[in-house]
Homo-oligomer: A and B are copies of this chain.
Amino acid sequence: MKPLEGIKVLDFTRVLAGPFATKILADFGAEVIKIERTGQGDDTRSFGPFQNGLSGYFVCLNTGKKSVELNLKDPDSICLLKEMVKDVDVVIENFRPGIMRKFNLDYASLKAIKPDIIYASISGFGQEGVWSNKPAYDLIAQAAGGIMSINGYPDSPPTRVGASLGDTSAGLNATIGITTALFHRERTGEGQQIDVAMVDSIYALLESNVMRYTVEKNIPQRIGNRHPISAPFDIYQSKEGYLAIAIANESLFERFAIFIHREDMLEDERFRTDNNRQNYQELLKVEIENWLCQYTATEAAALLEQGGIPCSVIHDIKDISESAYIKERNMLVDVNQLDHGLFKIPGNPIKLSSLKQTNMQRAPELGEHTEAILEKYKEMMK
């Protein structure tokens, strides 16, 4: 039995944050019924890249789900949905706060029908409060949440994290909320409401950066690839490409110095402690690159790894996607989308021993399951 087998999820989410969450639930065996706007469906169906007319963006977020086309402005649809709610475990949505209430599909309305419903909402700025009505996209959540101010180089403008972290972190948090609520319901019989905001999710990822402000009143700045505490901890230029080296304690530094035949650095007061190395990291960089310039990044990585020095070449998306590692970890999986051909999508990074490797079920065509699913609930309404 898959861990979430038998769990039914009524999924009103669109675009990224919500579908990212329900994709994990589907991977774990939940039946995810995706409610899509009649005619158009999820916005991402029209986002590139396309293969034989099907959006790769949509596919990577929606495999294993069922698609039901419905017009939420039609009262009959709402009646039908309310019938469905009696039969599901989880409702999830990422509309702007207030929209689900307009449709009479808010938590209070659905709890009245199904008292133990688990109801998760994802929004930019939370369900209530000063900023709850502000529209949010990933860039907005990243700007508001503080992470852009510490991402990038000192001489560059604030920098958006190059993947949609506002959405995906909120999706992960919603998933934690839902799985926790499922466990809670199993023991207590009670449902609950889950309120996840993208800005909160970004803020929670700042970890010790927040502490540097609240404890020391220092406002963390952009420091490129450096570490706020340790050195050497940066990327360094080789003969060809950059190499990331991360040395976070004294014994590693000792091993490193010996390995690059620079035992003299161990006698040098300026490099004696992490703290001193922080203060002289420009000089340290020169010394490291003096050694590194003899090798390509790949060669140097192979050498340093023999010495157990934490390092890595900087993979681009092709490098990592084609690596033996990703293949072995099953982190790039095939999805057979029939007429649209085979797609390769990122795998689930949460490897559960209860979940045996199975073929990834494809993403649904728009409305593919409308009849089959609605028929059942129309019957029930009679």
Contacts and interface: CB of A to CB of B under 8 A. Distances in A.
A246 to B, nearest CB: 4
Interface stretch (A80-88, A144-152, A288-296): A144-152
A238 to B, nearest CB: 12
9 contacts: A16-B207, A28-B180, A60-B208, A61-B207, A137-B233, A137-B246, A143-B244, A160-B235, A162-B209
A145 B207 contact: no
A32 interface: no
A368 to B, nearest CB: 21
B352 A194 contact: yes
Residue from A16, A61, A126, A347 whose CB has the most chain B CB atoms within 10 Å: A126
Given A182-B183, A219-B318, 13 more contacts: A3-B181, A47-B208, A49-B212, A57-B211, A60-B210, A138-B246, A150-B163, A159-B224, A179-B179, A192-B353, A192-B354, A199-B325, A199-B329
B207 A163 contact: yes
The A interface, classified by DSSP as helix, strand, loop or mixed, is: mixed
A216 B177 contact: no
A212 to B, nearest CB: 5
Contacts of A135: 308-310
Nearest to A305: B134
Interface in A162-181: 162-165, 168-170, 172-177, 179-181
A206 B354 CA distance: 26
Number of copies: 2
Contacts of A242: 157-158
A312 B140 CA distance: 6
Contacts of A227: 139
Contact of A136 (B130, B159, B310): B310
Nearest to A237: B157
Contacts of A284: none
B351 A194 contact: yes
A311 B146 CA distance: 14
Contacts of A199: 320, 325, 329
A224 B229 CA distance: 26
Interface residues of A, number: 145
A62 B143 CA distance: 28
Given A192-B352, A305-B134, A180 B146 contact: no
A315 B145 contact: yes
A105 B203 CA distance: 35
A144 B243 CA distance: 10
A195 B347 CA distance: 14
Contacts of A248: 137
Given A192-B353, A197-B329, A351-B194, A207 B60 contact: yes
Interface stretch (A260-268, A338-346, A370-378): A338-346
A200 B41 CA distance: 30
Given A165-B165, A180-B179, A316-B219, A211 B150 contact: no
A211 B305 CA distance: 31
Nearest to A141: B312
B352 A180 contact: yes
Contacts of A60: 207-208, 210-211
